[in-house]
Amino acid sequence: MKFAVCVFPGSNCDYDTYYIIRDLLGKEVSFVDYTTKSLQGFDCVVIPGGFSFGDYLRAGVLASKTPLGNAIVDFSQKGGLVLGICNGFQILTELRLLPGALLKNQNMRFICKDVYLRAENNQLAFTKSFEKGEVIKMPIAHGEGRYYIPEEDLKKMEERGQIVLRYCDEEGNITQEANPNGSVGNIAGICNSEGNVFGLMPHPERACEDLLGYRDGIILWYSLIA
């Protein structure tokens, strides 16, 4: 399995992601920069976190208009696996590969803390090593993570199993207090209707080593190569 890690001007989780894939998973991985026109030959493309193009205009929008943005659309339409983390999730919504939008956090602050998440869909290539309903811990670090989608579209997404992760408390209860940013339905991660494109606000690449106090993130990465 061959991975690509996208690098836009302002990406800043690219090396962490590269490290996880190369050193923890032991898989082949390359950086691809924003001028790249084709992703042929890769099996999974990861769009890492950061502030691509300074988050100018709207988070993710300028990155979505680059040659690499077009290549990601093309790659996903051919069935390739695409994972967008944090700014990568924002880029995927701007590419219209995922529905909805990510808006400024309800409290207007940049939030950097640990959250608990409930795995709602474990049928994806990205989540198949999770138990359904499993509660996991990962850090979030974002200013624009409030997921929004109109209510009628949200219902359709729920019916199709497109809600992958929800913010919850330590016991797995979906509560308002456990919702850090005001996302509709406590949504932290979603997939497209085909299930090959997945975006999430939390950072699984920062949650893979006991030394850092986490181990749940690695389950997501292992799912991809299981």
Partner 1 sequence: MKVKVLILPKRGLLDPEGRAVKEMLVDEGFPVKEVKVGKVVEIELERDMDIKRMVERYLVNPLVEEYIIE
Q: In the complex, which residues of this chain contact partner 1 (CB under 8 A)?
A: 57-58, 61, 65, 94, 100-101, 103-108, 148, 150, 182
In the complex, minimum distance from the CB of residue 106 to partner 1, in angstroms, rounded to a whole number:
5
The residue among 151 and 177 lying less far from partner 1, judged by its C-beta, is 151
Residue count of the chain: 226
In the complex, minimum distance from the CB of residue 70 to partner 1, in angstroms, rounded to a whole number:
14
Active site residue 94: no
Q: Write the DSSP symbol of residue 22.
A: I
Task: List strand residue ranges (DSSP E) for 14-134, in order.
Answer: 28-33, 44-47, 81-85, 101-103, 111-119
The residue among 57 and 112 lying less far from partner 1, judged by its C-beta, is 57
In the complex, minimum distance from the CB of residue 114 to partner 1, in angstroms, rounded to a whole number:
23
What are the helix (H) ranges across the chain? 14-19, 61-64, 67-77, 87-94, 151-159, 217-225
Evaluate whether 172 touches 118 at the Cβ level (below 8 Å). yes
In the complex, minimum distance from the CB of residue 197 to partner 1, in angstroms, rounded to a whole number:
17
Evaluate whether 197 touches 98 at the Cβ level (below 8 Å). yes
Cβ burial of 60 (10 Å; 0-12, 13-18, 19+) is buried
The residue among 135 and 184 lying less far from partner 1, judged by its C-beta, is 184
In the complex, minimum distance from the CB of residue 108 to partner 1, in angstroms, rounded to a whole number:
5
The residue among 77 and 107 lying less far from partner 1, judged by its C-beta, is 107
The residue among 65 and 78 lying less far from partner 1, judged by its C-beta, is 65
What is d(CA 169, CA 70) in angstroms, rounded to the nearest whole number?
A: 38
Active site residue 191: no
What is d(CA 119, CA 190) in angstroms, rounded to the nearest whole number?
A: 11
Catalytic residue among 86, 168, 191, 208: 86
The values of phi and psi at residue 2, to 5°, are -115, 125
Helix, strand or coil, per DSSP, at residue 178: coil
Active site residue 6: no
Instruction: Extract the tokens encoding 4.
Output: 């690509």
Q: Which residues are catalytic?
A: 86, 203, 205
